[in-house]
Amino acid sequence: MSTDSLEDYAKKFNELQAIFDSLPDGIVAILDNDFKIVSANKAMSSLFEMPGKNIIGKKANELFEQKYPVMFEILQQTIQLKKEVRNFTIDFTNQNGVTTSFLISSVLIEGIGQNESAAVLIIHDISEIKKLRKVASQFKRYGEIVGDSEAMRNIYSMIDNIKNYDTSVLIIGETGTGKELVARAIHDSSNRKEAPFIPIHCSALPQNLIESELFGHIKGAYTGAAKDRQGRFKMADKGTIFLDELGTLNLELQVKLLRVLQQKTIEPVGSSKSIPVNVRIISASNRDLSHLVEEGLFREDLLYRLKVFQITLPPLRKRTGDVSILTNYFIQRLNHYYNKSIVGVSNKVKEVFNSYPWPGNVRELENSIEHAFVLTNSSFIEFNALPIELQNFNLKEKVLPPPPRNLNDEESNIRKALLFSNGNIEKAADLLEIHRSTLWRKMKEFRIDKGFGKTPA
């Protein structure tokens, strides 16, 4: 590089010094391969706690290596590899445990000399933004439930009202709305919080073992019962038991559950001895249990005992104001889990998130962000890192929320078709006018055993 050329560029930076000094971001310019600093603004002086005149002429590696070595690595990459960096997040923790966060970008300067490279480093302190975001998120949640919409504030109020009562609670909501989180929040804020919280996903337990899982068994109660076993209700004594997907319990077990509610006792399988239990029951379902009552698949007296107090969780499409809050929450949590420093999402991703109907609700949003995390190596999640169904979502078309599925009718039709076809999947699929793979998927969704409908030998 010629001396004249260097002086020309240094003069240009000096002419812009007043503008640079007015900016909150630290700006430093390097104009040769020796990494000598030719310009630095006031924000950069504050960052390194030294006058600007002491920074000018200093080699960048000497300036950065003691306090912020990663910044020099970014500068080195920009100049030597001719590769600009955009919005790279770095965190520094001092000896007092105070963490400072920066957003770093670099810009290449072309045309200075054939054998020389030059770059400008821009340093944005985002520590205060991250602190404010963290504080804000704490005021927009209840336990692990996150949201600041009116609907969610009403849920928080309900939890506060019932937390210290032993009243049975029924939580209704679509899949992925956070029913178990609400149950845990009720328990964790109640006077039972020091005792166990025992969740039971009824649909995941085999029908022939669920009674033993709930109430326990004695040795020899059935083949394979080699010793006494304590059930989940006894494990939850003085605490809370959470029965998820309650609608999958058979009628025989519903009778025994009703007895527990009425008498506050359990009988292990194979025993006639009643054991007292002090348990609060919280249950949940993604289906309207009153429809199951009409079809004779659920006991009406049990339903009334379980829904002394009912909480209905809104789907995410009806609380779109919470999408950005949830997005920030999941990003913070996944940053910790994956040891990344992602700051947020791009404007296009934000637009998609706020318009998409989220049929899988909060769980789908969380899974979509985690999917994007795996593919993101910069500070912002971009559109091309989203799952394919979100990338294919057309923002220009007005999208109506998906019509509510009558899950009770759908499950009932599948069971009838399997009975009519004696358990033949292909014939049942033909009767339902769906592909057999779709039938398998729906059977899995409704926890219908593949042997259901076959005539016993």
Distances (CA, A) of 193 to 127, 159, 189, 200, 362: 35, 14, 6, 18, 25
pTM for this entry: 0.63
CATH fold for the domain made of 321-391: Helicase, Ruva Protein; domain 3 (1.10.8)
Q: What is the pLDDT of residue 55?
A: 83
For the domain 3-125, what is the CATH code?
3.30.450.20
Query: 399 CB contacts (<8 Å, ≥6 apart)?
Result: 355, 356, 357, 393
Domains 150-312 and 321-391 fall in the same CATH topology = no
What pLDDT does residue 2 have? 45
CATH 3.30.1230.10 corresponds to the domain 150-312: no
> What are the domain boundaries of the chain?
3-125, 150-312, 321-391, 407-445
Buried b (16+ CB within 10 A) or exposed e, 315-325: bbbebeebbeb
pLDDT by 10s per residue, the chain, length 457: 444 455 565 666 666 666 777 777 888 887 777 788 878 888 888 888 888 778 888 888 888 877 788 888 888 888 778 888 877 887 877 777 777 888 888 888 776 655 666 788 888 888 776 665 665 555 577 888 999 898 998 899 899 889 998 999 999 999 999 999 999 999 999 999 999 999 999 888 877 788 888 998 888 777 777 788 888 999 999 999 999 998 888 898 999 999 999 999 998 888 888 899 999 999 999 888 888 888 888 999 999 999 999 999 999 999 988 999 999 999 989 998 888 888 899 999 999 999 999 989 999 999 999 999 999 988 899 999 999 989 988 765 544 455 555 555 677 778 777 777 777 888 888 777 777 777 887 787 777 766 655 554 4
Angle of the 150-162 helix axis to the 179-188 helix axis, nearest 10: 40
Place of tokens 């998409």: 356
Question: How many Cβ atoms are within 10 Å of 269's Cβ, its own excluded?
Answer: 19
DSSP letter assigned to residue 31: -
> Residue 365, SS3?
helix
Which tokens belong to 432? 């339902």
For residue 449, the one-letter residue type is D
Long-range CB contacts (< 8 A, 24+ apart) of 406-412? 406/291, 407/286, 407/287, 407/446, 408/287, 408/288, 408/291, 408/292, 408/295, 409/291, 410/442, 410/446, 411/446, 411/448, 412/295
